[in-house]
Every structure is written in C-alpha cells, then in structure tokens.
Amino acid sequence: MNIALVGYGKMGQAIEKIALERGHTIGLKIDLDNRADLNETQLADIDVAIEFTSPHSAFDNIMDLLKAKVPVVCGSTGWLDKKEAVDEYCLQQQGAFLYASNYSVGVNIFFELNKKLAQLMANQTEYRVSMEEIHHTQKKDAPSGTAVTLAEQILHSIPLYKKWVNHSSNKADELEIKSERIDPAPGTHKVIYTSAIDDIEIIHTAHNRTGFATGAVMAAEFLKGKKGIFGMNDVLGF
C-alpha cells in the first residue's frame, strides 16, 4: 500500500518503521509545517491514511481525508464529541473510517477481559471499582482514550456507576480515574476492584510504541478497499 502519515511525531515515526518493514511505502507525510499538502492533489495516489495528531486538529484532518476519498485510520483521542459527524460524513461520501482509542493487540485483548470482568462483578456490590492510568508527559488528553474506553465498558455493565470522573471521588455512583503523567512511560492502565476481603486487579503495561504502531498498520491493511465504519474488533475478529 501507499500510505499517508498525518502526524509525524514519535507515533508517526514508529508507524513508518513498521509500515516499511511490512513492505508498504509512505507517499505523504503531513506535519505542522506542511498541513496545506493535505489536499486532493497530494492524496491522489494514497491507498490509506493513518492519522495520529492532537484533539484540536484530528476532526479537520479526518474530514479533509474523507472528502478526498481516502480511507482513514485514526488514533487521535480527545475529539470524540464530533465522531457522530465524522461517521455521517463517511457514509455520505461512501468512504471508509476506522477509529480505535488504542491499536495495540494486547490492549484490545485487555478490553475484552475488562468487559468480561465487569459483567462478572455487576452484582458483587461489596466491591468498589476504580482505575489508574500513567502516560508520558507529552500526552495532551487526560484521562487517556484507552482509559475512557475501559470506563465506558464498566459503566455499561455495572448499574451502580452513572459516570466516570478524572479525580478522587467519594460518591457511590462515580467511577474514579486517576491520571498520572510521568516520563518515559508509554502507557499503563489498571482496573481495580476493592473490598474489605480482597482486591482484584487487571493491568496492561506497554513497554514501547511498537504494539500501537503495528496495530495501526494492521488496521490500514484491513481497511484498504472497504467502505463503512469499523473498529479494531473488526480487524482482530472479536
């Protein structure tokens, strides 16, 4: 495939390395200094774009890519209040869009474990659930998109909790997420069920960006030639 990288920071560079190793080419790199190149002329020969930027730029990038009829794999977080508009435009354009809060295969397995554990704990009212996440100091959003996905899964299965909060809470219906930013941590997520008798914890710790980059390239390979809206569950067959 001929891939466009929209966002060429550490994540974009990690994706480039994996894509080249898997036999793909990088036909276009978009960063802060050449945003104007994200146009239909420059995108004419691109098979799939992989977008990893910031909460403030992701929406415009995605819409411009869909307008140019380029399938989009997006890993930017913090913009999901506009996802419904993206989905509608994608279908209108008969395009292809794949979003995931985390592209790591291990994290997506962790999501499945989290859903199953929450289902098992739904009626175990003696347990209080909380979450912790740690990332590097360059991460702009808190809690992380991965933490939000985990939290929403818990809210779906455990009726006691009505919302998640990103601070300490003593309210019975609030799911507490504690966020820390420490270098060089690429990402740790912990879900903790605590009772007077014992604790149950599940933890995912990333050692580097390779897992995220590999999953993003796998997603791009999956998306080529398709139309519609997809997620990592579709890529992995969950």
**69 among known catalytic residues:** no
From the list 29, 69, 83, 139, the catalytic residue is 139
CB distance 61 to 51 below 8 Å: yes
What are residue 51's phi and psi, to 5 degrees? -110, 115
Q: How far apart are CA 143 and CA 152, in angstroms?
A: 12
End-to-end CA distance of the chain: 25
Which one of the listed residues 135, 136, 167, 189 is annotated catalytic?
A: 135
How far, in Å, are 46, 64, 70, 125 from residue 226 at the CA level? Answer: 14, 18, 11, 44
Report how far residue 140's alpha carbon sits from residue 231's, in angstroms, rounded to the nearest whole number: 23
* Measured distance CA(161)–CA(176) in Å, rounded: 10
Is 139 annotated as catalytic?
Answer: yes
Q: Which residues are catalytic?
A: 135, 139
